[in-house]
Amino acid sequence: MERKAGTRQGLTILVGSALPVMGVVLLAPVAQNLREGLAGASLPFDVTSLVLTAPALAIALFSPLAGYIVDRVGRRPVLLSMLLLYGVVGMAPVLLSHPLAIVAARFLLGIAEAGILAANFALIGDYFRGEQRRRWIAYKSSVAAVMATVFYIVGGFLGEWGWRAPFAFYGIGILIALPAARYIFEPNRSPAIDTSPAPAAPPTGTVLPYLVITLLCAILFYIVPLQLGLFLERRGEFTLTAIGVMIALAGLGNPIGALAFRFLSHISLPVLMLASALLAGAGLMVAAMAPGAPALVLGGFINQVGCGLFVPITVSSLLQVAPSERRGTSGGAWSTAFFIGQFLSPLLVAALIQRSAAGGELLVLGLVNLAIGAVAYLALRGVRRVGTSNESTRVKIKGIG
């Protein structure tokens, strides 16, 4: 008798999925203290930046390999081993003295995060179907957004004991491995027989448009979190505390948008993608057309509601077309696309800011949102659901079958 997943499995996935968010967020409040603590190293580059960004780089580089291993070895063994690795190498900088050793530990942390992301992506696809899957995807995205704020607070609190103290918190990965070992089971990945004329799993090549959309959405996703402080400084004199509060207020839209996905299952994914892009673009236009900080915060909030929908939409869309035996690989590819977008976002937006008058870049970015939304809508229309049976969703490619 096949074992069925339920709330315990879903909650375990949610908790584990929050760990990759800690990669940079936990250390952000102590970045300056970290820089001072590593200042004694005579290195020809900024080692602090490497310490902060090494996990994201490792995720981008190793996610495809992690996904491949998840498909070949299994979801459960990869998840458990990567949770343990996360805890061990995450805490290592508490004891390490050489900056390059700390960078190496952080890079290994990113590899562990890549494995956790790929395994959880595959497990959601394996464990749940239809509306139930969309519900857990929404929960996963909203929890990650909320935990980013929580980890920022935790990092600041632990930073009062020194720049090494926040690293100790990464040991939570070991604690999470305990319930994961009990509740996570290896799913049956035998492909279900589909009696419809359409193939149950579309050709592998069809996932590429979804990865491109994910990369573009990730670039847009990070505009407000990474650039709102700069936009605020260009509109007036504000204390760092005030800027932090305003960024946090705007960022509240992110988990709201992600959770809203849970209640929008009656809307097709292409239409929902277009609507989220229109909302995100409208927020930037509000911020561009009205002067002062309140308009920026309001526009940023509206933008983040739309952006909060991006992640669950792209994940849900990719899970619709990814064959069950390649969900780990597809999840790894999604992580790579998303984190490359995270890397490119500040570079592209900074270049646009340098070439635009104050406020003009927001208008341009708003229009870019609308354009990408239209392109994504047309691309996602290539897949439509043809019915459900026992909460499973079959996919039909237009023009095939």
What residues does each domain of the chain span?
7-183, 204-397
**Percent with pLDDT over 90 in the chain:** 23
Burial of 329 (0-12, 13-18, 19+ CB in 10 A): buried
Query: Which amino acid type is present at position 316?
Result: S
Question: How high is the pLDDT of residue 330?
Answer: 84
Contact 69, 78 (CB under 8 A): yes
pLDDT per residue over 317-351, tens digit each? 888 887 777 888 888 888 888 888 887 887 787 77
Please tell me the distance from the alpha carbon of residue 82 to that of residue 267, in angstroms, as a whole number: 36
Q: Is the pLDDT of residue 44 over 70?
A: no
Question: How high is the pLDDT of residue 335?
Answer: 85
Question: At how many degrees (to 10) do helices 327-354 and 208-221 cross?
Answer: 40
Model confidence at 204, pLDDT cuts 50, 70, 90, reads very low
Contact 123, 13 (CB under 8 A): yes
Please tell me the distance from the alpha carbon of residue 370 to that of residue 376, in angstroms, as a whole number: 10
What is the architecture of the domain spanning 204-397?
A: Up-down Bundle (1.20)
Q: C-alpha distances in angstroms, 147 versus 58, 108, 118, 301, 365?
A: 21, 22, 19, 18, 27
Please tell me the distance from the alpha carbon of residue 80 to that of residue 240, in angstroms, as a whole number: 40
Contact 340, 215 (CB under 8 A): yes
pLDDT per residue over 209-228, tens digit each? 888 888 988 888 888 877 78
Q: Looking at the domain 7-183, which fold is it?
A: Growth Hormone; Chain: A; (1.20.1250)
pLDDT per residue over 280-290, tens digit each? 999 999 988 87
Question: How high is the pLDDT of residue 42?
Answer: 67
Please tell me the distance from the alpha carbon of residue 61 to that of residue 69, in angstroms, as a whole number: 14
What rounded mean pLDDT belongs to the chain?
81
Burial of 45 (0-12, 13-18, 19+ CB in 10 A): exposed
Question: At how many degrees (to 10) do helices 293-321 and 253-260 cross?
Answer: 30
Please, what is the end-to-end C-alpha distance for the chain in angstroms? 33
7-183 against 204-397: fold identical: yes
Q: Is the pLDDT of residue 391 over 50?
A: no
**CA torsion, ordered 266, 214, 204, 3, to nearest 10 deg:** -60
Which pair of tokens denotes residue 112? Answer: 């562990």
Contact 154, 169 (CB under 8 A): yes
Question: How high is the pLDDT of residue 198?
Answer: 33
